[in-house]
Amino acid sequence: MEVLTIEKAVNLLLQKVDQIRETERVVLWDAAGRVLAEDVYACHDQPPFPRSPLDGYAVKSEDIQNASKENPVRLTVLGEVDAGHVCGHTVSSGTGVRIMTGAPIPEGADCVIRQEDTDYGEDMVEIYKAVGSYENYCFAGEDYKAGTKIMAKDIRLGAVEAGVLASLGLQDVSVYRRPRAAVITTGDEIILPGEPLEGGKIYDSNLYTLVTRLTSLGIEVTCKKRIGDDAARAAEMIREAEGDADLVITTGGVSVGKKDIMHEVLEILPAERIFWRIAIKPGMPTLCGQYKGKLLICLSGNPYGAAVNLELLVRPLLAKMSGRKDLELQRVKAISESAFPKKSMATRYVRARYADGKVRIPDGSNDSGILSSMCGCNCLIELPAGTSGLEKGDEIWAVLL
């Protein structure tokens, strides 16, 4: 049986998922990170009225054309307008209105003179400087005009977008539903944190790595469960999880041992087998199937293998399903500051830290069963199949995590 390259494996799976087009409304507080599902138009000008950018006096520019410190212009102060209030006065020749930053510029005025260029007068004010027409004058709609398309659908919302939507007066917004994933870990030896560590057992790290990673990528995790090496039970759990999820991810039991139950689970379900094995290290025995139209991705139980395959295999699918370009894998060229002497038969991924165009491999093993040396790593060095090893100073490609 042909062992697929990671590129072929990803492409095969990509053909089996679609972008999720179901929408939901979320309050603006929860909008960041979501993908906008509607074009948004301005329903009013922003700002809705001409406003003052500073504290001073709203006047007619023609009145103060010749004003100077030596020859001040004296104007009658009609009143005061503060931010949040409207002014009943109309400025006519020889008059002005005391105005604060953010307040609407009264009718008749075409500029604002800053208070530092006046005597701060209350009933009468002396103006010491000339300003031109529409100087210190923010026009209504200078940010955006009513009717303008402010945001196009399919963009990813962030903090600034939330602020702009709020400036429109919106409280909620239509976004695409996020992909939903179920995570199930398998293994008789696997126990959950909180349970006593008895002979032959180890704590479940995969459940935490996978669920936490998915959540941090903005994916909704609908099921997080651990079960023993029981094919019938695993099939039952996948059937239950499938209802709420777009994608089911399992770990463990995909190799060739007696207890590698996932092959049997596919038969029990029954699920169509898409492929088994990818020519990569770690995570070679990955098994993928389709059950009721949904992908079933069975990753190796080895913690590093599971973590790497979540990035290389699952992330591109999530990018397509969620319509989020930012989830697509990004590769950068970098210079290795570390050596890695092992030969690579299949494409090998070595955990590393990337910064400023350089990568450094942490101390500790890169073996697929070792997770702790991955702490603090932010990339995977990609060593093509056939590479005899890596020397310090070599140029490499790194996949950013």
Residues within the interface to Mg ion (CB under 5 A):
187, 252-253, 301
Chosen residue from 55, 117, 204, 311 binding ligand AMP by CB under 6 A: 204
**Least CB distance to ligand AMP at residue 368 (A):** 8
Contact segment (CB under 6 A) with ligand AMP among 12-20, 176-184, 187-195, 326-334 equals 187-195
Distance from C-alpha of 238 to C-alpha of 252, rounded to nearest angstrom: 14
What one-letter code names the amino acid at 27?
A: V
In the list ligand AMP, Mg ion, none, the entry touching 222 (Cβ below 5 to 8 angstroms by class) is: none
CB 353 within 8 A of CB 52: no
Name the burial class of residue 4, with classes exposed (0-12), middle (13-18) and buried (19+) by CB atoms within 10 angstroms of its CB. Answer: buried
Could you give the CA distance from residue 309 to residue 278 in angstroms, rounded to a whole number?
10
Token pair for 52:
């003052």
Q: Which does 185 bind (CB under 5 to 8 A by kind): Mg ion, ligand AMP, none?
A: ligand AMP
Closer to Mg ion by CB, 67 or 299: give it: 299
Residue 176 CB, nearest approach to ligand AMP (Å): 31
At a CB cut-off of 8 Å and minimum separation 6, what does 363 contact? 373
State yes or no: residue 189 binds ligand AMP (CB under 6 A): yes
Q: How far is the CB of 308 from Mg ion (least distance, A)?
A: 18
Residue recorded with tokens 């903090």: 159
Instruction: Show the binding pattern over residues 255-274: x = contacts ligand AMP (CB under 6 A), - = does not.
Output: x-------------------
- Residue 302 contacts ligand AMP per CB under 6 A: yes
- Does 369 participate in binding ligand AMP (rule CB under 6 A)? yes
Cβ-based nearer residue to ligand AMP, 160 or 256: 256
What separation in angstroms does the CA of 2 have from each of 75, 275, 276, 277? 90, 9, 9, 9
CA distances from 398 to 261, 327, 374, 384, 393 (A): 34, 16, 15, 11, 14
Task: Kindly state the smallest distance separating residue 337's Cβ from ligand AMP, in Å.
Answer: 30
Q: Is 147 in the site for ligand AMP (CB under 6 A)?
A: no
- The answer to whether 340 and 359 are in contact (CB under 8 A) is no
- Residue 369 interacts with, from ligand AMP, Mg ion, none (CB under 5-8 Å by kind): ligand AMP
Q: Which residues bind ligand AMP (CB under 6 A)?
A: 185, 187, 189-190, 202, 204-207, 251-255, 300-303, 369
